[in-house]
Amino acid sequence: MHKYLPIALFALSPILGAAAETENDRWNLADLYAATDAWNADSVKLEGQLKEFSGCNGKLGESVKRFKSCMDLNADIMKRYTRLASYASQTHDQDTSANIGQDLSQKSDILGSKVDQATSFLRPEVLGLGPAKVSRFLKQDKSLGIYRHPLDRILRAAPHTLDAEGEDIVAQFGLATGAAGSVYTMLSNADLPWPTVTLSDGTEVKIDQAAYTKYRAAANREDRKKVFDAFWGKWKEFERTFGVTFYEQLKKESVYTKVRHYPDSLSRALDGDKLPPAVYNMLIEQTRANLPTLHRYFKLRAKMLGVSEMHYYDMYPPLVTSSLKYPVEEGKQFMLSAVKPLGPDYVAAMAEGLRHRWMDVYPRPHKLSGAYMNGVAYDVHPYLLLNYNDDYESVSTLAHEWGHAMHSYLANRNQPFVTADYPTFTAEIASTSNETLLLDHMLKIAKTDDERMLYLGSALENLRTTFFRQAMFADFEREVHAKVDRGESLTGTDITKIYGDILRRYHGDKEGVVKIDDLYTMEWAYIPHFYNQFYVFQYATSIAAGSMFAAEILKGAPGARDRYLNILRSGGSAYPYELVKAAGVDLASPAPYQAVFARMNGIMDEIEAIRARRNN
C-alpha cells in the first residue's frame, strides 16, 4: 500500500510471537538521520525549498535552463521528503506508543500536504507547455532525459488534468476527503465493542481483530464457529454504519472520476500507470473460469481436516501443523541459497543488507504488527519491518520482503531518483518470485514427507489468499464501483448482498463445496484495502507473473534471469504493463493465469501423492 505517497510500504498480515533480540536484530535508523535534531533541520531545509520552488510557478517555459532548474529542484524536494517521511514512519512503527514517533508522523503528514500544495501547479503548467515545447527542451538539454518518462506521464494525462487553480483546489481538498477511511479505521480498530467468547478449554477471549486472526485457526472446530459467529455478529450490528462509510468512499472516487473526465472509476484508477482495463478484466474472467481449481483445493482441505462438509470457518486452520523451528539466522541461509539462480551479484547484495541492520526482526510490545518493506530512502538503503516467529511462515515472509528490498536496491542503483520508485503492478512480482524460489529450494532439501507437506501446504494456502482471494476482492470492487458510477445508491444491506453472492460463487456454495453462512457475508466491511480503490488485484497479477518468471529461471531458459532482473533494475522508468510484457509475460492474456492454475494443481498432485503413499 502507499502509506506516504510516493512511499510504497508493502504490507503482509500480522505474525504473532516473540523472540529474544540483540542490537543486530534492530534496524539502524541512524543511516537516515543521526537523531531527531537532524530530521528537524532537514525539514527546515524542505520548507525553504518549497518557498524557492514557488518561484517556478508560471516560469517553467521561460527557457530550457529555467525548466531544468525547476525540474531538478522538484526532484530534490521529493527525495528529501521521502527520506523525512521514511524516518518518521519507521520511528513510529518501531514503537507506536512513543510520543516521538507520533509527533514525527504528524509533522510528516503536514509536510506532505505542503509538498502537494506547493507542487500542484507543476502538472497543469507542463501541460500548458505542450508536447512540442517539452520535446524541444529535451532535445536542447540531454540531461533532461531522466525526466522523459515522468513528463510523458503528465502529458498523456492532459484530458484529465485541470488548470492550475483547479489542481490547487483538488490538492487542498486532499485534507478534507479522507473521512470515510479515517472513520473506518477508528471504528474497526478502536471503537467496536468486541464480544467475548468462552472456548472449549474454558478460556475467555475478547474477539478483537488480533484475536480473530489467531483463534479463527483454532484446532477445535466448535471454537472456530464460536469465533466466527461472535466476530461477524458484531460487524453485522454495525452494517448500516459501515455501509454509509464505504458508500461515502465510493462516491468520493466517483466524483474524482467525473472531475477528471474518466468514463468510470476503474479506468481512472488504472490510467496513471497506463494499465489496460483488459488486464483487470482478464484476471476476473480467467479466475471465474478456473474456479474448479479452487474448489479442488477446498475439497482437499476438507479431507485433510477430516470434515465431511466444509464451512467458511474451516478456511484458516493450517493444512499441516509442524513443531519445526526456523531461527532467523537459519531462515537467512535458506533464503540466500534459494535465490542463487538470480546470480552471484544478487546474492551478494542481499547478504550485505542482512549484515548491515536493514531489518527490524522480532515482535515486541507496541511495535507495529505485520511486515513491510520501505525502499524509497533513495540515498540510503531499503528498510524491512518483520515480526519473525521462528516458523516456516516467517521464513516465507522473510523471502517475500527481501524480494521487495532487492527490487528497490536494484532500482535505486540503476535509476535516477525520479524513475527509481516503481508502481504496485510490478512491486509484488519480485516478492512472489522469491517465494517461488524458496519453495523450490525447500522441497529440494526436505528430508521427510512431513517437511514436504509443510512447504506444499504453505504454498497452496498462499495461492488461495494471494491469487484467488484477491481476485475475488477485485471482482467485488469492480461491481460496487460500477454501480455508484451509474448513480445507484448502496446501503450496507445492498453491499452485503453483492459481496455474499460473489463470496458464495468463489467458494462453490451452490455446488456444496464450502457452506457460507449469511452472517459471514459481512466480511466486506472488514477489508481495509477497499478504501484504496482497485489496489488488491495487483497481488493476483503479480503472483501470476512472478510464478512464470521463477519457473523460467529455474528451468534455465536462455535470457530468463536477465529479462526478470531488468524489470527490477528499471524501477519506474517505463509503464509497468509494457515493461512486464517486454520481459515475456502479457498480463492481458490468459497465459500467466493458466500458469498459476497449473502450479496450484501441480502442488495438489504432490500432496495427494504423499497422502496416497500414507494411505490417508
Between CA 435 and CA 247, with CA 424 as vertex, the angle to 5 degrees is 120
- Is 254 within 8 Å of 477 (Cβ atoms)? no
Q: Of 409, 393, 402, which is closest to residue 434 (Cα–Cα)? A: 402
Q: How far apart are CA 303 and CA 309, in angstroms?
A: 9
Catalytic residue among 167, 401, 435, 477: 401
Question: Cα–Cα distances in Å, from 316 out to 212, 298, 356, 462?
Answer: 11, 11, 36, 12
Neighbouring residues of 315: CB distance < 8 A, sequence distance ≥ 6: 216, 301, 514
Q: How far apart are CA 89 and CA 43, in angstroms?
A: 14
Buried-state track 356-383, b at ≥16 Cβ within 10 A, e below 16: ebbbbbbbeeebbbbbbbbbbbbebbbb
Q: Verify whether residue 248 is a known catalytic residue.
A: no
Backbone angles phi, psi at 207, to 5 degrees: -90, 80
Q: Of 400, 401, 365, which is closest to residue 385 (Cα–Cα)? A: 401
Neighbouring residues of 61: CB distance < 8 A, sequence distance ≥ 6: 67, 125, 128, 129, 133
Q: Which amino acid is at 87?
A: Y
Q: How far apart are CA 601 and CA 513, in angstroms?
A: 17
Query: Catalytic residues, which ones?
Result: 401
